[in-house]
Chain A
Amino acid sequence: MIVAEQKPFQEIVESVQDHQKLLVLGCGTCVTVCMAGGEREVGVLAKQLQLAAKKEERKLEVMEHTITRQCDGEFFDSAVSAKIEEADAVLSLGCGVGVQHIVELFPETIVRPGLNTRFYGANLQQGVWAERCAGCGTCLLEDYEGICPVARCSKSLLNGPCGGSSNGMCEVDPDHIECAWQLIYERMKKLKKLDKLVDYKAPRDWSRDIHGGPRRATREDMMF
């Protein structure tokens, strides 16, 4: 999923302080699962914003709404569209995709991001998410038996570990980052596939990553 976290409250307050009628819009998919921008968070944030406005003696009306996915036009039904048009600003608790999609659908509307979008990650335990994919466009997971050095090695090394790990942890953050190469090595050893690590991996083609410019995916068989 896309993992996001709420921006510092004060930053959010400042970003919407010029608006009197605000719609806090949640998203029901990734950011609901990572507990950053679902219906529950919308409710809490809306109340906090009202309290802050009251304290500063500012007039503020806050509406709340959450749709299934902000990144897909089909979920913007008439109810949410009416609220978006009624509000003088939308505070989106979707990821960065959601924020921009609202702007594309409602070009007259001011939209503010309430979240910092972090990464594509997995939920490891209650309250902990970690990056697992860099969205680089050409999946190498077969070569590394399911552990990605592009996303999980601090240097994205493709030909083996640098000298910077201790007890299986990466020196960049020894408390939290596992050395991807230690993991790859151990897995290959267990699978008796260490020979896969002997071959030289040539410099990769990054053009299907963001480095080739903003990306677009098309499926002609799905088009009308």
Chain B
Amino acid sequence: MDQNEYKSGSRLEKVLASGQFALTGELGPPKGADRQYVEKKAGYLSNTVDAANITDNQTAIVRMSSFAASLIASSSGVEPVMQITTRDRNRLAIQSEVVGASALGVRNILCLSGDHHSFGNHPQAKRVYDIDSVQLVAMLQKMRDEGIFECGEAIRNSKKSDPTPPKIFIGAAANPFAEPLDFRVVRLAKKIKAGADFIQTQVVYDMDRFRQWMKEVCDQGLHEQAYILAGVTPLKSARMAQYMKENVSGISIPDDLVQRLSSAEDQKNEGIRIAIEQMEQLKEIKGLSGIHLMAIGAEKQVPRIAEEAGFLPRPELMKEVP
């Protein structure tokens, strides 16, 4: 494909467009103004994943901005997928950030509504939610493909100058396990129709339910309209698994998985082995284009997981793009 035919020219887009099974990672920015923290984590991910999601004040706890950490990751050899939530910023702030990020070379953006701020460290904050995640996808699509802002004005410096729209590969999230279950594929279709180029799913533990969801996705041909990447997170212990099972909405963990962890001698290692097996199983599911490996707080393990699951080396083209 010619460079100009890509929507964004990002490494992630090129890997997916070439039909190769993609691997994305995740990098959570630090709480402090600590550049080295991002560089260190990026070190585990560069040459291991095609791109890494840089979270946006995840769990509603204030951290280094996704934008800044994306730039640090980029200069450390990891292509960022800058996450944007609609929780903290209105349409003005988001659009200006997208234009700025594009100007500085950020090529992938993931659109989210974000964890509600009542869970974070500033529950007293005023909420925003000017737009929702589907509207964010549509807004970015309009900015990129029509060269206009949400209000309809052209993205250009003056009436005489040429339009300078952002070049971005647009991502959205999907949760096959959340309620109401019957609405999940409808919502995915809505996001794809709004302009999502790729989809990253919630963590998959319940493989049966995920297969069912993927079947519905394929029946509607949605896998041909956007690249779908399945979420994987290694469980650290049986306790963590049980806690998530009972307390985190939209996550389904089968009992036999919890059982397997609790009877393991080294639970952490067993969690990693489970993740590797899941990645191998997911690879075989029709319609899937890649894995989104969210090894939160365990970035160090990503090279091993990627290696043992047969994801290394990553496609050569990742070295072409600076």
- Partner-B contacts on A (CB < 8 A): 154-168, 171-172, 179, 181-182, 185-186, 189, 194, 197-198, 200-203, 206
Q: Chain A residues near B132 (CB, 8 Å)?
A: 155-159
Most chain B C-beta atoms within 10 Å of own C-beta, residue among A154, A159, A186? A159
Are the C-beta atoms of A165 and B249 separated by less than 8 Å?
yes
Provide a sorted-by-A list of 19 A–B residue pairs whose CB atoms are within 8 angstroms. Answer: A155-B86, A155-B87, A155-B116, A156-B132, A158-B135, A159-B133, A159-B187, A160-B134, A160-B183, A162-B113, A164-B115, A164-B178, A165-B178, A165-B179, A168-B179, A194-B186, A198-B190, A203-B91, A206-B130
Verify if B131 is at the interface (C-beta below 8 Å from A).
yes
Q: Whole-angstrom distance from the CB of A175 to the nearest CB of chain B?
A: 14
Verify if B150 is at the interface (C-beta below 8 Å from A).
yes
Q: Chain B residues near A197 (CB, 8 Å)?
A: 183, 186
Q: Which of A166, A185, A206 contacts B249 (CB 8 A)?
A: A166
A155 to B150, CA, bound (A): 20
Given contacts A166-B179, A171-B116, A171-B249, contact A160 B190 (CB under 8 A): yes
Q: Chain A residues near B118 (CB, 8 Å)?
A: 154, 172
Number of B interface residues, CB 8 Å?
Answer: 36
Name the interface residues of B239-287: CB closer than 8 Å to any CB of A: 249-250
Q: Whole-angstrom distance from the CB of B112 to the nearest CB of chain A?
A: 9
Are the C-beta atoms of A161 and B190 separated by less than 8 Å?
no
Are the C-beta atoms of A172 and B116 separated by less than 8 Å?
yes
Verify if B193 is at the interface (C-beta below 8 Å from A).
yes
A179 to B250, CA, bound (A): 13
A156 to B249, CA, bound (A): 18
Are the C-beta atoms of A161 and B135 separated by less than 8 Å?
no
A167 to B247, CA, bound (A): 12
Name the interface residues of B108-146: CB closer than 8 Å to any CB of A: 113, 115-116, 118-119, 127, 129-135, 138-139
A171 to B182, CA, bound (A): 19
Binding site of A, secondary structure by majority: helix, strand, loop or mixed?
Answer: loop
Q: Whole-angstrom distance from the CB of A171 to the nearest CB of chain B?
A: 4
Q: Whole-angstrom distance from the CB of A62 to the nearest CB of chain B?
A: 35
Q: Chain A residues near B175 (CB, 8 Å)?
A: 163
Given contacts A162-B113, A168-B179, A202-B138, contact A155 B249 (CB under 8 A): no
Q: Chain B residues near A181 (CB, 8 Å)?
A: 180, 183
Given contacts A155-B116, A159-B134, A198-B190, contact A203 B150 (CB under 8 A): yes
Are the C-beta atoms of A202 and B183 separated by less than 8 Å?
no
Q: Whole-angstrom distance from the CB of A169 to the nearest CB of chain B?
A: 9
Verify if B62 is at the interface (C-beta below 8 Å from A).
no
Are the C-beta atoms of B249 and A159 separated by less than 8 Å?
no
Verify if B200 is at the interface (C-beta below 8 Å from A).
no
A73 to B36, CA, bound (A): 65
Q: A159-B133, A172-B118 are in contact. List 15 more A-B contacts (CB 8 A).
A: A154-B118, A157-B113, A159-B190, A160-B187, A160-B190, A163-B178, A163-B202, A164-B250, A165-B249, A171-B116, A186-B180, A197-B186, A198-B186, A201-B134, A202-B138
Q: Whole-angstrom distance from the CB of B294 to the nearest CB of chain A?
A: 14
Are the C-beta atoms of A200 and B190 separated by less than 8 Å?
yes
Q: Which residue of B lies closest to A194 (CB)?
A: B186
Verify if B68 is at the interface (C-beta below 8 Å from A).
no
Q: Chain A residues near B177 (CB, 8 Å)?
A: 163
Q: Whole-angstrom distance from the CB of A159 to the nearest CB of chain B?
A: 4
Q: Which of B127, B139, B183 contacts A161 (CB 8 A)?
A: B183
Verify if B222 is at the interface (C-beta below 8 Å from A).
no
Q: Which of A158, A163, A206 contacts B250 (CB 8 A)?
A: A163
Q: Which of B113, B135, B179, B186 contacts A179 (CB 8 A)?
A: B179
A164 to B248, CA, bound (A): 8
Q: Chain B residues near A158 (CB, 8 Å)?
A: 132, 135
